[in-house]
Amino acid sequence: MTELTQRGRSRILPDAPSRIVRTPLDAPAAPPLIPGDGSTGEYRPEPLEDAVPRVRGTGLAGMPGAPLMNRHDHIVAVRHGQIASLHSWELVTAVDGPGTRLTFFLAGCPLRCLYCHNPDTLRMRDGHPILLSDAIDQVMRYKTVFDATGGGLTISGGEPLMQPAFVRNLLSAVHQRGVHTTIDTSGFLGASLTDEDLEFVDLVLLDIKSGNPETYKRVTGRDLAPTIAFGDRLEAAGVKKWIRYVLVPGLTDDPENIASAADIAARWKSSVERVEVLPFHKMGEDKWEELNMHYELGNTPTPEKHEVEAARDIFRSRGLTVF
């Protein structure tokens, strides 16, 4: 057992598990099943989920797959956060947080963003099953790189909080070993993490996809309110945030919409380190075509530089640091 002191609070944590092959019969009872909470690996928002064809992820070199299990053992392992569905991973610099980052892209997302550039991450069950112990080992291989560059682990997706038990286990295991941790999320499933879980999160890359609830629904198919609620919790917990906003001509570029998004970000000003206004691009369009999915933004242009800068100025007017 390991005692961890973080932000003035002490917690006793089990040591990181070794390799699991089967869940023993005497394992502690899994938490009660709450349909749709994302903890079972079977989160299927309707009717959007059925519209996504089945595919398998790539970029898995060096990550062993989980051993074969029967369905019951697999479900128990998922619910205990011992197995996750991984789309891919990569080692990058200055993209998914500070320094050099090892980024895990978990499979599955409850949103259906019109400009999604990774639609091949949308289905959880199409990912590559990996063990928690192997994920921990993979992260710790790069500990010296993280120490030298100020980097660490980023858990992205898809939407990482579709698999909250695995995320909390991985975050706590590497954080107590001195690895900087980041979550890249829409915040829609932020309620999946408890306030205690947030102690193991150093940074959140939080997407504000629209400041207007109706536009947000149009962009994502979901509601804006959960993202704001999650941001409020992060602010209360003192968790640092990088806010991201994608500027899409004819969709998210209305000045009033941008102003509303800037107002949301400004309410968290004490913990927002930066805002990134990202110009829309169509680099994922080919993936939509390969998956036989209709890409609604095929005729949407990339915004002009002056348009992007004007949007950034709106955020700057709230006293935020903007890139």
Q: What is the pLDDT of residues 28-46, one digit of tens each?
A: 333 333 333 333 333 333 3
Give the whole-angstrom CA distance, residue 234 versus residue 237: 5
What is the pLDDT, as a whole number, of residue 318? 98
Q: Rounded CA gap, 156 and 104, in Å?
A: 6
- Closest by CA to 316, choosing from 271, 273, 278, 262, is 262
Please give the Cα distance from 180 to 201 (Å, whole number).
8
CA separation for the pair 302, 120 (Å, rounded): 22
Give the residue-averaged pLDDT of 278-296.
91
Question: What average pLDDT does this structure show over 182-194?
Answer: 97
Summarised one tens digit per residue, pLDDT across range 201-219 is 999 999 999 999 999 999 9
Q: Are 30 and 76 in contact (CB under 8 A)?
A: yes
The torsion angles phi and psi of 314, rounded to 5 degrees, stand at -65, -45
Question: What is the band of 159 on the pLDDT scale with cuts at 50, 70, 90?
Answer: very high
Give yes or no for residue 157 having a pLDDT over 80: yes
| Each residue's pLDDT tens digit, 47-100 | 333 333 333 334 788 888 898 889 899 899 999 999 999 999 999 877 899 999
3-state SS assignment for residue 278? strand
- The answer to whether the CB of 320 falls within 8 A of the CB of 269 is yes
**Residue 185 · residue 204 · CB < 8 Å:** yes
Average pLDDT over residues 252-281: 97
Lowest mean pLDDT among 135-149, 194-208, 287-301: 287-301
- The string of DSSP codes covering 81-106 is TSEEEEEEEEEEESSSSSSEEEEEEE
Q: Yes or no: say if 320 and 270 are a contact pair by the CB < 8 Å rule.
A: no
Evaluate whether 118 touches 67 at the Cβ level (below 8 Å). Answer: no
Q: Are the CB atoms for 115 and 166 separated by under 8 Å?
A: no
Q: How many helices (H) and strands (E) does the chain have?
A: 9, 10
Residue 276 backbone phi and psi in degrees, to 5: -110, 115
Q: How confident is the model at residue 117 (pLDDT cuts 50, 70, 90)?
A: confident
Query: How much is the pTM?
Result: 0.82
Specify the pairing of strand 128-131 against strand 180-185.
unpaired
Cβ proximity of 64 and 83 under 8 Å: no
Mean pLDDT of 305-319: 98
What order of strands is seen across the sheet that includes strand 272-279?
128-131, 83-93, 100-106, 152-156, 180-185, 203-207, 240-247, 272-279
Contact 53, 125 (CB under 8 A): no
Q: What angle do CA 14, 20, 23 make, to 5 degrees?
A: 90
Least reliable range by pLDDT among 80-84, 122-126, 131-135: 122-126
Question: What is the model's pLDDT at position 249?
Answer: 97
Percentage of the chain exceeding pLDDT 90: 71
Looking at this protein, which amino acid is placed at residue 7? R
The residue with tokens 């992260």 is 139
How confident is the model at residue 29, as a pLDDT?
A: 39
Peptide bond into 47 cis (omega under 30): yes
In terms of pLDDT, which residue wins out, 254 or 18?
Answer: 254
**Tokens at residue 197, please?**
């879980």
Which of 22-31, 55-64, 125-134 is the most confident on average?
125-134
The percent of residues above 70 in pLDDT, for the chain, comes to 82
Judge whether 171 and 147 are in contact, CB under 8 Å. Answer: no
Run of H or E including 314: helix 305-316
Mean per-residue pLDDT of the chain: 84
What CA–CA distance (Å, rounded) separates 103 from 91? 6
CA–CA dist 208, 206 (Å, integer) = 6
